[in-house]
Structure 1
Amino acid sequence: MVKLTLKQQRFVDEYLITGNATDSAIVAGYSKKYAGQNADKLLKNTKIKTYIDERLKELGDEKIAKQEEILQYLTSIMRGEQTEQILRGMGEGYQQLIDIEVGAKDRIKAAELLGKRYGMWTDKVDIFGEVVFITGDDEIEE
């Protein structure tokens, strides 16, 4: 991680939340006058820019599912290892949240998506036409 002053670090953390450089600089402790005139300079600072990139990568890694995780999840649905919650009426307007097995349609869809991933189903395509080759002598060969 890049070393920043505490004020710069607070600026980046606030900027990642709001996307507003001027307001973020003020919240971080810079004066309103400085923030208004120099917020864009803070964003151009190479250390701050590098820190922003590092933080965005960290946040992205935490929040975005990777390919392996998606494949594992689809496999667990296909195998019936996942449950889903529904509301069941218990009478007199009372409802209870219960867990049920994932339905057959969802399991089939998961299997279909996994099959597509591994190229198990391909469409047959017939291609007809002539191939024309042009040589360096500008003669056409078939």
Structure 2
Amino acid sequence: MSRGLTAKQRVFADEYLKDGNAYQAAIKAGYSDNYAKAQSSKLLENVGIKSYIDAKMSEIESKKIATAREVMEFYARVLRGDETEEVVVAGLDGAEVVERKPQLKDRMSAAREIMKRYPLAGNDPALAEQLRKIKAEADIAEWKAKELLGDNNAEDKTTLIDDIGGEADGANN
């Protein structure tokens, strides 16, 4: 990453990354005041310095963004009560900062977030039944739409039984 840069150029680039001021970065890197005034913007155009700065910026950005694994690990720590937060508590002698474990509502919220990502339809009979019902309702709606449009295959002799009243669809029409 810093291949081809002199020590001064590397210091310039690192200082520039701190505050974005090319003139101050050049001074801190050891360039003269006159050179810094006249050439600091040219230093930023140097291909080696520019690629060094770009690489460092992308490294900094990637460290700022949490990965999905980090997020799931955080939710799991909250769910288990392992994560703590500092809260200010008022007492007789004034306010003090204490560490507090997640409250039940926080733990339940973490559990919901985890379950959004890892539903256990196969392990939860109630959820599996809800999914089966939704699928059946979708199949019925699709069949009715085809029937109204006349798209149902004439050879398909399947009779649709409506779940209300147990009669064949269209029997009372």
Q: Same fold (TM over 0.5)?
A: yes
Give the partner amino acid of 2:76. T
Q: Which runs of 5+ in 1 are unaligned?
A: 130-142
Aligned to 1:102: 102
Q: Following TM superposition, by how much is the alpha carbon of 1:85 offset from its aligned partner in structure 2, in angstroms?
A: 3.0
Structure with the largest fraction of strand: 1
Identity %: 39
Query: 2:49 maps to which residue?
Result: 48
Following superposition, which runs of at least 4 residues in structure 1 exceed 6 angstroms of deviation?
Answer: none
Structure 1, residues 17-40: CA drift from partner, whole Å, max 9, x if none?
111112211221112222222222
Aligned length: 126
Which runs of 5 or more structure 2 residues have no equivalent in the other structure? 121-133, 139-144, 146-173
Q: Structure 1 CA distance, aligned partners of 2:90 and 2:23? A: 53
For residue 66 of structure 2, give the secondary structure of its aligned residue in structure 1. Answer: coil
Specify the alignment match of 1:72 in structure 2.
Answer: 73
Task: Return the letter of the residue paired with 2:101.
Answer: E
In 1: Cα distance, 2:106 partner to 2:47 partner: 48
Instruction: Write the distance in 1 (CA, Å) between the matches of 2:18 and 2:114.
Output: 36
Contact 2:2 2:10 survives alignment (8 Å): no
Q: How far 1:86 moved relative to its partner?
A: 3.0
* TM-score, scaled relative to structure 1: 0.70
Looking at structure 1, the residues matched to 59 and 113 of structure 2 have their Cα atoms a distance apart, in angstroms, of 28
Distance 1:6 1:26 in 2: 14
* Alpha-carbon distance in 1 for matches of 2:98, 2:41: 53
Verify: 1:10 aligned to 2:11, yes or no. yes
Amino acid of the residue matched to residue 111 of structure 2? A
Q: CA deviation at 1:89?
A: 4.3
- The alignment's C-alpha RMSD in Å is 2.9
Larger Rg: 2
Following the alignment from structure 1 to structure 2, what is the Cα–Cα distance between the partners of residues 117 and 82? Answer: 20
Using the alignment, how far apart are the partners of 1:117 and 1:43 within structure 2? 44
Q: For 1:53 and 1:119, how far apart are their aligned partners in 2?
A: 40
Does 1 or 2 have the higher relative contact order (CA < 8 Å, sep 6+)? 1
- Corresponding residue for residue 149 of structure 2: none
CA-to-aligned-CA distance 1:64-91 (integer Å, 9 cap, x gap)? 3222111110121122222233344453
The corresponding residue for 1:132 is none
Residue 31, structure 1, aligned to residue 32, structure 2 = yes
- CA distance in 1 between counterparts of 2:22 and 2:117 reads 42
**Structure 1 residues 85 and 43: alpha-carbon distance in aligned structure 2, compared to 1, 3 A threshold:** same
